[in-house]
A and B are shown apart, each in its own frame.
Chain A
Amino acid sequence: MGRAESSPSALVREFIARCNAGDPWSLLSDRVIVTVNGTTPLSGRYPGIPLVRGILLDSARVVIASLDISISKIICAGTRVATLICLSGRNSAGTPFNTEGRLCGCVFTVDAGLIHEVTLFPDTSLIEIALYHRQYVSDV
Chain B
Amino acid sequence: MSDQSVAVVNQFFADLRDALKGIDINPYRTMAEDIEFVVTGQTPLSGTWHGINAVMNEFLPAASPRMGRAPGHGLFPLEFIAEGECVAVLARGRGSNIAGLPYNNTYFLWFEVRNGAITRYVEDFDSSLAWRSIFCCHLE
Contacts and interface: CB of A to CB of B under 8 A. Distances in A.
A116 B41 CA distance: 28
A135 interface: yes
A136 B135 contact: yes
Given A75-B81, A75-B88, A125-B43, A137 B138 contact: yes
Contact of A126 (B41, B90, B110, B136): B41
Given A126-B42, A137-B138, A38 B126 contact: yes
A24 B35 CA distance: 36
A32 B138 CA distance: 33
A136 B108 contact: no
Contacts of B84: 75
Interface stretch (A13-21, A56-64, A103-111): A103-111
Interface centre among B81, B84, B132 (most CB of A within 10 A): B81
Contacts of A40: 128
A77 B81 contact: yes
Interface string A23-42: 00000000000000111100
A123 B42 contact: yes
B25 interface: no
A124 B126 contact: yes
A125 to B, nearest CB: 4
Contacts of A138: 135-137
Interface of A: 37-40, 43, 73, 75-77, 80-82, 84, 102-107, 119, 121, 123-129, 134-140
Interface of B: 2, 38, 40-43, 46, 79-84, 86-88, 90, 106-108, 110, 122, 124-132, 135-140
